[in-house]
């Protein structure tokens, strides 16, 4: 199976509703979006240029009632556009919410620390990473934790990565775009 895209971490929270503590599995939580049938999140499809700069969620099809309820909830999200099938799987296409368009562009440029305060807060709340000793928090706010992790755990020169002004890699566009042929080759 292909590894997860960076969009799977940085973009999915754009689709979530405001987090309600009494609804841990609704369309405001990672559990909702990253259910067992979740494959990946993309920002376009090589075969459908009209879906460039959209949010695409890819799921393996599951023929049970809970999946059908889930599918209906996805379709009811205000940014839902359409879905299409690929060999036993479904891709759901969403517009980038207007209020997060600049954050989406910052993601494409690898400028994570330039996400708006509102989006950083939403993303950290969504993933329940809203504490300073978390790597994503450190990446968004450029704290020393991410530099230490890169240097000591990954044995990477943090200074080289930081040459672009951030402490994480810029997304590689072709890896963030849905390409069924490429997925089949890496499975």
Q: Is residue 35 part of a domain?
A: yes
Residue 57 lies in a domain: yes
Residue 92 sits in a domain of what CATH number?
3.30.200
Residues 116 and 160 in one domain: yes
**How would you write the pLDDT of the chain (187 residues) with one tens digit per residue?**
458 999 999 999 999 876 555 444 455 566 778 788 899 999 999 999 999 999 999 999 888 898 888 899 899 889 999 999 988 899 999 999 999 999 999 999 999 999 999 999 989 988 888 778 888 999 999 888 888 888 888 787 777 776 567 888 889 999 999 997 655 444 4
**Residues 67 and 61: beta-carbon distance below 8 Å:** yes
pLDDT at 69: 87
**In terms of domains, do 24 and 53 share one?**
yes
DSSP letter assigned to residue 177 = S
Q: Give the Cα separation of 103 and 50 in Å (integer).
A: 20
pLDDT digits (tens, 9 = 90+) for 73-82: 899 889 999 9
Q: Which of 90, 125, 120, 94 is nearest to 106 (CA)?
A: 120
Q: Which residue is listed with tokens 């950290």?
A: 124
Q: Note the pTM of the prediction, 2 decimals.
A: 0.87
Residues 21, 67 within the same domain? yes
Cβ atoms of residues 51 and 94 within 8 Å: no
In this structure, the answer to whether residues 180 and 93 fall within a common structural domain is yes
In a domain, 89, yes or no: yes
Q: Based on the domain organization, do 123 and 92 belong to the same domain? A: no
Q: Maximum distance among all alpha carbons in the chain?
A: 50
**Number of domains composing the chain:** 2
162 and 180, same domain (yes or no): no
C-alpha–C-alpha distance, residues 116 and 128, integer Å? 18
Domain assignment of residue 123, given as a range: 111-169
């Amino acid at each position: 199976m292909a590894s997860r895209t960076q969009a799977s971490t940085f973009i999915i929270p754009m689709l979530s509703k405001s987090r309600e503590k009494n609804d841990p599995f609704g369309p405001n939580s990672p559990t909702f979006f990253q259910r067992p049938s979740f494959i990946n999140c993309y920002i376009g499809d090589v075969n459908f240029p009209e879906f460039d700069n959209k949010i695409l969620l890819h799921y393996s099809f599951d023929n049970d009632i809970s999946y059908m309820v889930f599918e209906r909830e996805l379709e009811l999200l205000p940014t839902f556009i359409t879905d299409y099938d690929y060999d036993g799987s479904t891709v759901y296409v969403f517009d980038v919410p207007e209020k997060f368009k600049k954050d989406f562009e910052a993601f494409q440029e690898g400028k994570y620390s330039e996400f708006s305060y509102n989006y950083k807060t939403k993303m950290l709340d969504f993933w329940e990473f809203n504490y300073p000793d978390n790597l994503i928090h450190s990446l968004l706010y450029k704290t020393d934790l991410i530099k230490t992790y890169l240097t000591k755990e990954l044995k990477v020169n943090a200074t080289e990565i930081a040459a672009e002004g951030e402490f994480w890699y810029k997304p590689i566009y072709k890896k963030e775009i849905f390409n069924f042929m490429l997925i089949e080759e890496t499975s």
